[in-house]
Amino acid sequence: MSAAIQTAVGSKVRVLSPATVANVVCGFDILGFALDNPTDIFEIELSNQKGVTIINKDDYDLPLEAEKNVSGAALLALLEDAPDVQGFVLTSEKHIKPGSGIGSSAASAAGAVVAANYLLGNRFSKEDLVRFAMFGEKVASGVKHADNIAPAIYGGVTLIRSIFPLDIISIDAPPLHVTVVHPQIEVRTSDARQILKQNVLLKDAIKQWGNIAGLVAGLIQHDYDLIGRSLEDVIIEPVRSILIPGFDEVKSKCKAAGALGGGISGSGPSIFMLSKDAETALAVEAVMKEVYTRIGLDFHTHVTTINQQGVKLI
């Protein structure tokens, strides 16, 4: 499809935008990876009406005003750098529940800007798209962060070395199976940030730095044992885990079932665990189901793998 056809008013594309796991235990705001499922679906169309028109095809009642909507804010940022484009019509069909901790807002922002970029003949780089999508994350959480956005756009595992200026590194991780449980409670990202300590003891910082470096090294070297040893958070998880019923039991029993390790996905309430193989990932799911069934808390689970592509055209 030529750029001329792509940029004609009325042209449209559809994309799948993936869920993501951010922080990855010790990598608060700097590490993330994309999941093969669940995914959102977005369709975007060029419009001769200025701004962004949003149509929701789900039951989440998300804002229709572009500046208050995660996707809309990201597209408005993109339009600032595309003065020849009047606007877009975005149709959103979300399957990643807002507030679930698996990157619902990032899927919305990333899906919208990647789809728009296809329409515009791929004039923007992936780094540009992350920059636009971060405006959506600011709407969702009050803070521009990229640990969900970057893997959603780049695919795979990503390291955010710096936000200002953006410096994103893709990490060649080994095959990993991911089990996620989403207890049916909501933990707002903005609330989960407010409870964090503003000062950290030096001994805790040193331990955290060692774990982050060990985790990145383990991923690059495809060293599963090192990955498992490094999946420890001494700063964020001890505070945030109190918001998630059953967290400590789920984590300890999943590791006993063979998981390499894991923790809170994003700001929660979802919990993720990494495993070397599908059989272990399914055993981990069974543990998660047993714990939350006994507690009496509704939940959803996903057993999946790392998505290497990110947002993709359909």
Compute CA distances 8 → 4, 45, 300, whole Å.
7, 9, 41
Tell me where in the chain the CATH 3.30.70.890 domain(s) lie.
Answer: 177-305
CATH code for residues 3-172+309-313: 3.30.230.10
pLDDT tens string for the chain (314 positions)? 334 435 666 789 999 999 999 999 999 999 999 999 999 999 999 999 999 999 999 999 999 999 999 999 999 999 999 999 999 999 999 999 998 999 999 999 999 999 999 999 999 999 999 999 999 999 988 889 999 999 999 999 999 999 999 999 999 999 999 999 999 987 776 676 777 878 999 999 999 999 999 999 999 999 999 999 999 999 999 999 999 999 999 999 999 999 999 999 998 999 999 999 999 999 999 999 999 999 999 999 999 999 999 999 99
Q: How many other CB atoms sit within 10 Å of the CB of residue 14?
A: 15
**How far is C-alpha 79 from the chain's CA centre?**
23
Q: How far apart are CA 292 and CA 312, in angstroms?
A: 34
- What DSSP assignment string belongs to 270-286? -EEEEESSHHHHHHHHH
Q: Which residue is listed with tokens 């756009």?
A: 153
* Burial of 2: CB neighbours in 10 Å, binned 0-12, 13-18, 19+: exposed
User: Which ranges of 35-91 would DSSP assign to H, the alpha helix?
Assistant: 70-80
Name the phi and psi angles at 67, rounded to 5: -70, -15
Beta carbons within 8 Å of 201's beta carbon, 6+ residues apart: none
Tell me where in the chain the CATH 3.30.230.10 domain(s) lie.
Answer: 3-172+309-313
Inter-residue contact 67 to 52 (CB < 8 Å): no
Q: How far apart are CA 78 and CA 51, in angstroms?
A: 11
Instruction: Report the SS3 class of residue 181.
Output: strand
Q: How far apart are CA 21 and CA 8, in angstroms?
A: 36
Q: How far apart are CA 218 and CA 216, in angstroms?
A: 5
DSSP 258: T
Q: Which residues carry out catalysis?
A: 137, 189
Inter-residue contact 286 to 271 (CB < 8 Å): no
Tokens for 163, please give them. 């936000």
Fold type of domain 177-305: Alpha-Beta Plaits (3.30.70)
Q: Which residue is listed with tokens 């990110």?
A: 310
Give the pLDDT score at 291. Answer: 98
Q: How far apart are CA 139 and CA 74, in angstroms?
A: 9
